[in-house]
Amino acid sequence: MERQLQEYVSEVVAVAKDKKISQFEKEKKALQKELLLAERTTQKERIEVMEGAKHSAAVVMLKVKLQMAKEASDPSFDRSEWDLEGWTKRLVELGDDEEPEEVLALEADGSGAHDH
């Protein structure tokens, strides 16, 4: 009788362990799905932020170009206030692909072929 009781307890314990393992596996799968969804959402949000920043930068640059064109068309405008040396240095610091001299040559030429 005691042996039967021990076998019964062992079976109950084994079933309980199996159920617990199964529950843990379900929870693990649910957490993995949540993680994957969070990663995808974060990636999508990051892309949206980057695209928004690119758009904002493009808008600002176009406004600056329009303002500079307006100022440059005024014969009385003093271009000596333009900090070409500082701007050139900043382009180098930012790691721009084009050489500053090329940009200046294009702007002076008026071709605008390399406008981004």
Mean pLDDT by 10 residues, the chain (116 residues): 86 90 94 96 96 89 82 78 78 69 56 44
* 78, two tokens: 């003093």
Kindly state whether residues 39 and 57 are assigned to the same domain: yes
d(CA 25, CA 32): 10
Which residue range is the domain that position 103 belongs to? 83-116
Q: What DSSP state is assigned to residue 114?
A: T
The confidence score (pLDDT) of residue 115 equals 44
Kindly state whether residues 11 and 60 are assigned to the same domain: yes
The confidence score (pLDDT) of residue 101 equals 62
The confidence score (pLDDT) of residue 113 equals 43
Distances (CA, A) of 79 to 29, 70, 90, 111: 65, 12, 19, 20
The confidence score (pLDDT) of residue 102 equals 61
Type of residue at 12 = V
Assess contact for 103 and 91: CB atoms under 8 A.
yes
Give the number of domains in the chain.
2
The confidence score (pLDDT) of residue 106 equals 53
The Cα angle at residue 8 between residues 6 and 14, in degrees rounded to 5: 100
Kindly state whether residues 69 and 98 are assigned to the same domain: no
d(CA 103, CA 87): 11
Kindly state whether residues 12 and 52 are assigned to the same domain: yes
Kindly state whether residues 12 and 37 are assigned to the same domain: yes
Kindly state whether residues 73 and 101 are assigned to the same domain: no
Kindly state whether residues 46 and 10 are assigned to the same domain: yes
* 36, two tokens: 């994957």
